[in-house]
Chain A
């Protein structure tokens, strides 16, 4: 038996160029998409879209969707879907509204309680999926309706017939935690920039952009934390492994069930976070909140490079996927196009992303 003591470099393995290496990053498609969409709007939209105020304008909806999208991406990497996150936004919004308005709880109690409720529903989702072995697609589709219906009925019960619960803003106005979830950050910096004439001022002398909306900071924070967890912690490795092949993962000692349940809890909590941010921001909650957001979140994740089969994807990709969404929804209002083109764009983008991801997957695994 010939043993190669020192294996010589294999002449058939070509060293990869930087371009090939870049091509293998899951977030490449989303970044390319952002560039394309930016170029498109640079030519078609009014220039005000790319002023500071315009950018904040499209980043705000992107942020709300992005928080959901990143959680959806992590769950997809772990090999599951959650179609109930949109309804979860409404449900968590209702719980939160009732806690602060009807029960008068301070945020320090209301927020953990809302998160706790959401996590419980997420855990139930996960437990049912694991126990029955049914596709998570179907189980969470059931929860899409259950939670939406429960929010409608619940709101009517708590408000005495209405599907909207008002008075949140008054209830939390004096709370010391409110600035963490609503309003703008870095107000001083933006005033200073406006005073120096670097950014625009309104006629009244206040800066046109009072600060960075807090939701955008949450969005960035969630992206950074998710990326760190995925790429730099054992838990991240478990998520990839669980989604890649759950038998192989569990044979290697990965706690597959725990990983999946935690991910379902995470998506539900992300929905609750979005609910809390938007409910405090608008001062009311209603049963239609988060409508269709489950699909948009999954599309953002797919544009961000997540494979539908699991085991591959990135949080940074979902970040850019959500920004594409924000740019297009808001950007169309800066152009002469009918805004309803948005949905056409959505479908087209999804199709393109899925085809593109398939090609990338083949490149990564060297399949032919």
Chain B
């Protein structure tokens, strides 16, 4: 088992007197998909923001590639290779796939006047999308014409192209239909096989079980340990997320439908 790329030990994050994270331990190894499961309000977004350099932890250490790491901005984290695909995907529907793909990081040609090298950009975009299993009609197709799953894939492909070593996916499947979910999960599997460490954040146990190698449950700002694939089943994860009792009683009345 290879060493973790990023390791978070005993992370606490307080906002004034609100304790958002209260002892989170989490790591990601290259080429694995580590799922972080948690219900709404469990602290998932604070966790993501801490990992991606938006928040500084109040307590605890983050080790990145063996060295203690202090990110002063999301930009730092991005440069180091920690990329986040947020739920809004940072995509602009009116702009073409290529323009979205290279937004903020445009390749240029020309010595005196730096031109946006749109030919190269188009070629790379088409190629990367084909590798992800999406055949674009044309690279100048607007992102607005893509489906939710395809947009997710563009966002993932973009992060990988720009050198992500750790890729944090914030609820990538929450708004998708069945078919599109399976496409996104396939993308995750494909990217994982390229050696990228994936952090899959979700509250959907089944989606997590489909691609996850390890599972960590976050409940009320705390991680409750990590389980390997095969050591835990959906019902146990579900119970941990809900904090045990409440769901069990609820489940009785719903006849085991969730």
Residues of A within 8 A of B (CB): 1-4, 7-10, 13, 15-16, 231-234, 236-238, 240-241, 244-245, 247-249, 251-254, 307, 311-312, 361, 364-367
Contact = CB atoms under 8 A, between A and B. Distances in A.
A253 B84 CA distance: 13
B186 interface: yes
B124 interface: no
B144 A240 contact: no
A240 B93 CA distance: 11
B95 A241 contact: yes
Contact of A237 (B75, B116, B144, B145): B116
Nearest to B185: A1
Contacts of A249: 90, 92, 103-104
B49 interface: no
Contact of A248 (B75, B92, B137, B144): B92
B88 A248 contact: yes
A15 B190 CA distance: 28
Contact of B86 (A13, A251, A364): A251
Contacts of A245: 90, 92
Contact of B103 (A1, A15, A232, A252): A252
Interface residues of B, number: 39
Interface of B: 74-75, 78, 86, 88-95, 99, 102-106, 108, 113-116, 118, 130, 133-135, 137, 142, 144-145, 182, 185-186, 189-190, 210-211
A17 to B, nearest CB: 12
B135 A10 contact: yes
B92 A7 contact: no
Given A15-B137, A311-B95, A237 B186 contact: no
Contacts of A367: 144
Contact of B106 (A9, A234, A311): A234
Contacts of A252: 90, 103-105
Contacts of A9: 135
A233 B115 contact: yes
Given A251-B74, A364-B94, 18 more contacts: A1-B210, A3-B186, A237-B99, A237-B103, A237-B106, A240-B95, A241-B95, A245-B90, A247-B88, A247-B90, A248-B90, A249-B104, A251-B86, A253-B105, A364-B144, A365-B144, A366-B144, A367-B144
A248 to B, nearest CB: 4
